[in-house]
Amino acid sequence: MTKTAAVLDSNTIIESLRDAGYRVTAPRQAIVEALTGFERAFSADDLLQHLSASDPTVGRATVFRTLDMLVSLGLLDRLHAADGCHSYVLAHSQSRHYHHLICNSCGVVVPFESCNIEALYPAVSEETDFQVSGHMLELFGLCGSCRA
Amino acid sequence: MTKTAAVLDSNTIIESLRDAGYRVTAPRQAIVEALTGFERAFSADDLLQHLSASDPTVGRATVFRTLDMLVSLGLLDRLHAADGCHSYVLAHSQSRHYHHLICNSCGVVVPFESCNIEALYPAVSEETDFQVSGHMLELFGLCGSCRA
DNA sequence: ATCCCTGCAAAGGCTTTGCATGCCA
DNA sequence: TGGCATGCAAAGCCTTTGCAGGGAT
């Protein structure tokens, strides 16, 4: 149990990449390093700008390709906020079920695990004649700091 | 109680437009007529293509402007599906709380009202120290026809 | 008669693609 | 060495904006 339990760090991500058969290259390492530094959701462009100041020059295309790759490996989550639909956050866990809670004021994103949406399935099934198999949920609110 | 209860029809939408102070123009009528014909979520482009065959020529800009207007009036819902983030469905109700259930197979969208997400708020608040104030939920599954 | 609304076309973002070169394994 | 990965630039979408003319009220 480390200080920030269950949050992926750059080494773990790089290892996952390698395990999945992808090559560990300098641009990919720079991208992974950068995205573990974000505390809130970031866009491809945020990442691009952040990287423009870093060691290796990373091309636009590489950023998009790497983001897609990380999402497909479950290492990165795509956020579907009300306004911007294309932002990303580091995945919280690859094994446990969780969702995101987003602060309306500062934009910080935290995961939460207490989700009993599946309890809704029977009622919804009955109401709609659907066989429900999945859900997408995001909560909004105010974080502790912003309330203060 | 009509056959398809609580679903907005084109006349109701047009009246709401008028009530909100917007002018009732031919392009707007054509757009409203077209979108009440869709059974599943549609994109701006779907609408545009559908309209290219209709009576008045409706410009791209007008379609986007009208969609935004209808969404802001609560007559149209923006859907945030996993893949495409920019599709629309006719609003189900302007007063009641509901969400969308989307068929993974045919894409049909139906609303459902049995949502007790708010019951989650206390547990999530305690877990995260957020003051939760809203949520976004979408369910996925198989509709009756697709199961058959 | 007002001035909101429209179409057109151009501009603007964001994302993807093609291709020759580079570099990890 | 082989072939995945990269950068660059161009192309591709999708959406918005500017503007002069048109139509609803």
For A53-70, write each residue's pLDDT tens digit.
776 789 999 999 999 999
Strand pairing report for A99-103 and A131-142: parallel
CA distances from B15 to A26, B2, B22 (A): 60, 18, 10
What is the third-level CATH fold of A10-147?
Arc Repressor Mutant, subunit A (1.10.10)
Interface of A with B (CB under 8 A): 80-82, 85-86, 101, 103-104, 110, 112-117, 119-121, 123-125, 127-144, 147
State the pLDDT at residue A53.
79
In chain A, what percentage of residues exceed pLDDT 90?
Answer: 75
> Does B1 have pLDDT greater than 50?
no
8 Å CB contact of A139 and B134: yes
Average pLDDT on A113-134 reads 92
> Does B3 have pLDDT greater than 60?
no
For B11-64, write each residue's pLDDT tens digit.
999 999 999 999 999 999 999 999 999 989 999 999 999 998 776 789 999 999
> Does B141 have pLDDT greater than 50?
yes
For A97-110, write each residue's pLDDT tens digit.
999 999 999 989 99
**Per-position b or e across A123-143, b if 16+ CB within 10 A of its CB:** ebbeebebebeebbbbbbbbb
pTM for the model: 0.89
Amino acid at B148: A
What distance in Å separates residue B43's CA from the closest CA in chain A?
15
Distance A40 CA to C21 C1' (A): 36
Average pLDDT, chain A: 90
User: Which residues of A are less than 8 Å from B139 in CB distance?
Assistant: 120-121, 124, 130, 132, 134-136
Average pLDDT on A128-143 reads 94
Please provide residue B101's backbone torsions phi and psi, each rounded to the nearest 5 degrees.
-120, 125
Nearest-CB residue to B80 (from A80, A104, A112): A80
For B72-120, write each residue's pLDDT tens digit.
999 999 998 766 678 999 999 989 999 999 999 998 999 999 888 999 9
Q: Which residue is nearest to nucleotide C25 (CA to C1')?
A: A23
Please provide residue B68's backbone torsions phi and psi, each rounded to the nearest 5 degrees.
-60, -45
> Does A77 have pLDDT greater than 70?
yes
> Does B69 have pLDDT greater than 90?
yes
* Distance of alpha carbon B50 from the chain centroid: 17
Q: A123 and B69 in contact (C-beta within 8 Å)?
A: no
Nearest-CB residue to B141 (from A104, A132, A136): A132
Q: Tell me the HSE value of A11 on the side-chain side, using a 13 A CA sphere.
A: 0
Q: What are the domain boundaries of chain A?
A: 10-147
State the pLDDT at residue A1.
35
In chain A, where does DSSP find H-type helix?
A: 10-19, 26-35, 44-52, 60-72, 121-128, 144-147
> Does A2 have pLDDT greater than 80?
no
* Dist CA B114 CA B100 (whole Å): 11
Query: Exposure of B11 by Cβ count < 10 A (0-12 exposed, 13-18 middle, 19+ buried)?
Result: exposed
Average pLDDT, chain B: 90
* Dist CA A110 CA B139 (whole Å): 22
